[in-house]
Amino acid sequence: MNKKGVGILALSALAFLVAIIIFYSHSDSQRPGDKTAYLGEIEVSLFNTYFEAEKEMLYIDLAAGHSVRMSCSQNCLDKKNDAEKLALIQDPFREDFSKRLDRFNELFNRSLAVEDYTFSVKGDDFIGLYGKELNFTTPSIDYRFKPNFRIKLK
């Protein structure tokens, strides 16, 4: 290596170390517009919000899956069109899923009702579409989602 290259490399390394020291010495200070949030605090809050919403979605997906399995055995759906499958599954599904939604409402302090769902069958999929949005609200995040589901019948 020549001496000019070593000098530039040393100068770059020194400038990098100074920049790191300046960054970390000011990273614990608060942002000018936000008196309560520190570096990364909003991002962690966002991940926690997503995590809570995913727990609710997982519960609904599993509850719907159990309710579909309890509604009709697999052999009763063979060689039927979508309307016939829906007619066979819908009433027993509503009864079982309503019980599971009641438990969901207790656990997550929600007010979901089976009457707010629209059910359909497309091929081998049983689909539930919820008519309203659920949301999580924190001081910096308003996260909205619909607790829809799609369950394979086979």
Residue-number span of the structural domain to which 69 is assigned: 47-154
> Are 45 and 128 contacting, i.e. CB atoms less than 8 angstroms apart?
no
pLDDT (average), residues 78-87: 79
Q: What's residue 22's pLDDT? A: 86
Q: So what's the pLDDT on residue 49?
A: 87
**Cα-based angle 66, 56, 120 (whole degrees, multiple of 5):** 50
127 within a domain of the structure (yes/no): yes
Number of domains present in the structure of the chain = 1
Question: Whole-prediction pTM value?
Answer: 0.70
Whether 138 has a pLDDT exceeding 70, the answer reads yes
Residue 1 lies in a domain: no
- Burial, 149: exposed, middle or buried (Cβ in 10 Å; 0-12, 13-18, 19+)? buried
Q: Is residue 92 in a domain?
A: yes
Beta strands at 149-152 and 134-137: parallel, antiparallel or unpaired: unpaired
Domain assignment present for 133: yes
Tell me the average pLDDT across 31-43: 65
Residue 133 near residue 147 (C-beta atoms within 8 A): no
